[in-house]
C-alpha cells in the first residue's frame, strides 16, 4: 500500500477525509516499520514508563533522517501534566531544536494546579513556536472539567489534534465518552486523535462518529512489547482497518 501524506490528502478536498494514522516511535529503527506499514505520521518520545517525555534532539534528528513522513516530537519534561517557569524556557528551546533537526510538528499539553487546562502555558508555547502544528496530548484526560477543557483546547492557536482516550484509564473505559462527544460536536471530531489502548473494535464506532485521526503505540510492536521495534505488518493491519472503516462509513465498496 502506498503511503499518502496528510498534505497530499488535503489537496483532494472533494473526497471524504481518510483516517490519519500516527505511530509512536522510540528509535530510528522503528521508522521503517511505520513507513512501510502505511503510517501517515510518527511521534517521537522517550521514557514511556513516565507516560512519554521529550526525546533528545539527536534522536529526533535520527528519526527524521529515516523518513519523509511528517515527524512530531514530544515536549514534556516531567511525569506530571504541570510545568514550571524554569521548564517552560527549556521547552521552548527544545521545540526550536526539534524543528531545526527536521521535526514538522510538536506534541504538548499542560494542566494547572487545579487540573484545568493551563491556557497561559499552552498559548506561550504556541506563540513562541508560531506557525508550527501541534497535538494537545493526553493531559486532557486528566482534567477535572472535561467539557471546559475541550472548549479551551479548541481555541488554542495552532492545535490540529487532541490525543485522548476519554479517560485516564484508557479507551477501554473512555471509548463511549469519546464516541458520544465526537458525534455531538464537529469541532471535537475534527481535532480528536483517538489513542491510549486503542483496539480494533473501537475503530468503526469512532469513524462513524466523525473521528479522523488515530494514534497507536505498543499495539504495532510484536507481543505489544516496548522492547520490540515497530513491525510493518502490524502497522499495515491498522492501516487496512482504518481505511475499511472509512470506506464503510462513506458507503464506498470495500475489498
Indicate the number of domains in the chain: 1
Report the CATH number at residue 23: 3.20.20.380
Q: How far is it, in rounded angstroms, from Cα 2 to Cα 68?
A: 13
Residue 115 covered by a domain: yes
Q: What pairs with residue 254 in β-bridges?
A: none
Give the mean pLDDT of 89-104.
Answer: 96
93, part of any domain:
yes
Give the range of the structural domain holding residue 41, as residue numbers without chain letter.
16-247
The predicted-structure confidence for 187-235, as pLDDT tens digits, reads as follows 999 999 999 999 999 999 999 999 999 999 999 999 999 999 999 999 9
Inside any domain, residue 91: yes
Count of other CB atoms within 10 angstroms of residue 93: 12
pLDDT tens digits, one per residue of 21-74: 999 999 999 999 999 999 999 999 999 988 899 999 999 999 999 999 999 999
Contact 216, 238 (CB under 8 A): yes
β-strand 71-74 against 41-44: which pairing, if any?
A: parallel
Q: Is residue 64 part of a domain?
A: yes
Residue 19 DSSP code: P
SS3 of the chain: helix, strand, coil, percent, to 5: 45, 15, 40
Q: Are 101 and 64 in contact (CB under 8 A)?
A: yes
Do the domain assignments include residue 21? Answer: yes
Asked whether residue 171 is domain-assigned, the answer is: yes
Residue 102 dihedral angles phi and psi, to the nearest 5°: 125, -10
62: in domain: yes
Q: Is residue 122 part of a domain?
A: yes
Amino acid at each position: 500500500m502506498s503511503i499518502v501524506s496528510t498534505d497530499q490528502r488535503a489537496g483532494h478536498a472533494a473526497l471524504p477525509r481518510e483516517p490519519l494514522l500516527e505511530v509512536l516511535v522510540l528509535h530510528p529503527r522503528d521508522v521503517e516499520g511505520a513507513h512501510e506499514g502505511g503510517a501517515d505520521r510518527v511521534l517521537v518520545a522517550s521514557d514511556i514508563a513516565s507516560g512519554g517525555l521529550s526525546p533528545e534532539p539527536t534522536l529526533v534528528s535520527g528519526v527524521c533522517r529515516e523518513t519523509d513522513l511528517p515527524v512530531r516530537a514530544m515536549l514534556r519534561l516531567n511525569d506530571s501534566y504541570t510545568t514550571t517557569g524554569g521548564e517552560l524556557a527549556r521547552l521552548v528551546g527544545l521545540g526550536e531544536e526539534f524543528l531545526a533537526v527536521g521535526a514538522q510538528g510538536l506534541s504538548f499539553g499542560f494542566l494547572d494546579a487545579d487540573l484545568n487546562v493551563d491556557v497561559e502555558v499552552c498559548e506561550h508555547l504556541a506563540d513562541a513556536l508560531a506557525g508550527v502544528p501541534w497535538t494537545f496530548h493526553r493531559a486532557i484526560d486528566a482534567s477535572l472539567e472535561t467539557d471546559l477543557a475541550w472548549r479551551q483546547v479548541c481555541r488554542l492557536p495552532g492545535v490540529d489534534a487532541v490525543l485522548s482516550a476519554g479517560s485516564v484509564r484508557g479507551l477501554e473505559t473512555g471509548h463511549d465518552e469519546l464516541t458520544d462527544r465526537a458525534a455531538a460536536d464537529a469541532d471535537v471530531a475534527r481535532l480528536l486523535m483517538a489513542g491510549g489502548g486503542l483496539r480494533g473494535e473501537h475503530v468503526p464506532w469512532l469513524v462513524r462518529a466523525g473521528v479522523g485521526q488515530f494514534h497507536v503505540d505498543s499495539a504495532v510492536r510484536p507481543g505489544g512489547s516496548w522492547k520490540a521495534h515497530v513491525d510493518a505488518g502490524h502497522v499495515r493491519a491498522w492501516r487496512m482497518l482504518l481505511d475499511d472503516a472509512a470506506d464503510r462509513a462513506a458507503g464506498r465498496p470495500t475489498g
